[in-house]
Amino acid sequence: MSKLKDTLYQKILDHRKRTTKLLKKSGDTVIDQVTVSQIIGGMRGIKSLVTDISYLDPYEGIRYRGYTLQEVLSKLPKAEGAEMPYVEGLYYLLLTGEMPSKEEVEELMVTFRNRRIVPRYVWDVIDSFPSESHPMAILSAAVMSLERESHFNVKYKQGLSKMDYWDSTFEDATNLIAKMPLIGAYIYNKLYQKGKGHRYPDPSMDLGANFAYMMGKDKPYDDVSRMYFIIHADHESGNVSAHTGHLVASTLSDVYYSISAMINGLAGPLHGLANQEVLRWLQGLRNQMDGKLPSEDEMKQYVWDTLNKGQVIPGYGHAVLRKTDPRYTVQREFCLKHMPEDELFKYVDALYKVVPGILREQGKAKNPWPNVDAQSGVVQWHYGITEYDFYTVLFAIGRSIGVLSNIIWDRALGYPLERPKSVTTDMLEKMVRST
């Protein structure tokens, strides 16, 4: 058994006792109440899920296993000369709650290396898509096609004890994480680098550096990849991608079905696709300005024009956050260090000065501050990834690490099939009358 799997197993044994005790001793304790506006309004804020992988505080932002993003980025082991830590180390942290040593990360890197071969039929699935297809649709299908590789399914058919579900799920999850960057880079090269061919991974490199290598990008794009995958990995359990992955997995669908579903949820413009929307929207402004940087008044006018057309300002607002997203801040600091003179970065910076005030003045958005997506497209654009349809694929590769960690724990703790109850509007009206 690997060090990671062994540590994880010990953690699972300990944690099971806590969950069992909670259920036995306090199963009927009321944690939250539900209002009509929550039922009609997308279940905002209802405390009805449990995860220990990450927690999103509205004012502080995300913590992974209790660590802020800044702490994660500074404490996880790094490759020689790298600014950002190993993505492999994040998987270790999310699964076990422990900061891995460099040796533990290196062991995990070997595990990933041994598992990243993508079967030929997956390339065929990708190649069979017409070139105008959205890369998220291709990614979803590619992951789906891998379903026949599931160890969990084989074991389940053989008659698997509930106590052992997590083990083969861990094997499937680790296999899939190892393959995701290859699949993502292959999709990019197929759609946008026609004729250049696809580079296969370099065995001496970590996940982030390999992704940069397969994308044909030089330093510091290896650090961009690491930063990107790490900051997008998890955002507690209620967001659409994480929740979809968890929901589908709760039926004991394997991780390939679950992550394909997660990808489909992420592909909406109100969620993961917002980063490409930000770029599309900024390009619209740039075209309108013939490339010159708009004045503050021109910027404000563009924002108001968008709102007056009944559209949202992409990259701003959040269902839970009530301050600037620390994932935005991490990327902003990277931009200030590596690309302060970038034209689009200047646009993004100028927007930061006007949008929150305007959204407050309009008075609708509960959170006028920028989210992760307001910055992420700009970083990619700077390093030559100008095909913004592709940005959400990068988000999906990162998000799969958090969602898969959650699914392994769901199985380990025996969480059941998810099945909330719905009511009819008639019933709601009656309940309201009787109060």
Distance (Å) of CA 398 to CA 27, 184, 193, 285:
34, 11, 22, 29
Told to check if 272 binds ligand AMX by CB under 6 A, we report yes
Told to check if 371 binds ligand AMX by CB under 6 A, we report yes
Rounded to whole angstroms, the Cα distance separating 256 from 153 reads 11
Q: Which is nearer to ligand AMX, 294 or 314 (CB)?
A: 314
Compute the least distance from the CB of residue 376 to ligand AMX, in Å.
9
Task: List the structure tokens of 259.
Answer: 């992550």
- H or E, element range at 307: helix 296-308
Told to check if 319 binds ligand AMX by CB under 6 A, we report yes
Compute the least distance from the CB of residue 238 to ligand AMX, in Å.
11
Q: Which is nearer to ligand AMX, 256 or 395 (CB)?
A: 395
Rounded to whole angstroms, the Cα distance separating 382 from 334 reads 12
Q: In what order do the strands lie in the sheet with 61-64?
A: 54-57, 61-64, 67-68
Nearest to 201 by CA among 232, 174, 173, 222: 222
Told to check if 360 binds ligand AMX by CB under 6 A, we report no
Residue in 167, 172, 206, 373 annotated catalytic: 373
Residue-wise over 15-30: b if at least 16 C-beta within 10 A, else e?
A: eeeeeeeeeeeeeeee
Q: Which is nearer to ligand AMX, 210 or 376 (CB)?
A: 376
Compute the least distance from the CB of residue 56 to ligand AMX, in Å.
11
Task: List the structure tokens of 192.
Answer: 């946008």
Told to check if 314 binds ligand AMX by CB under 6 A, we report yes
Told to check if 234 binds ligand AMX by CB under 6 A, we report no
Told to check if 315 binds ligand AMX by CB under 6 A, we report yes
Compute the least distance from the CB of residue 310 to ligand AMX, in Å.
8
Told to check if 117 binds ligand AMX by CB under 6 A, we report no
**151 in catalytic set:** no
Q: Which residue is nearest to ligand AMX (CB)?
A: 317
By CB under 6 A, how many residues form the interface with ligand AMX?
Answer: 22
Angle at the Cα of 183 (from 191 to 64), degrees rounded to 5?
120
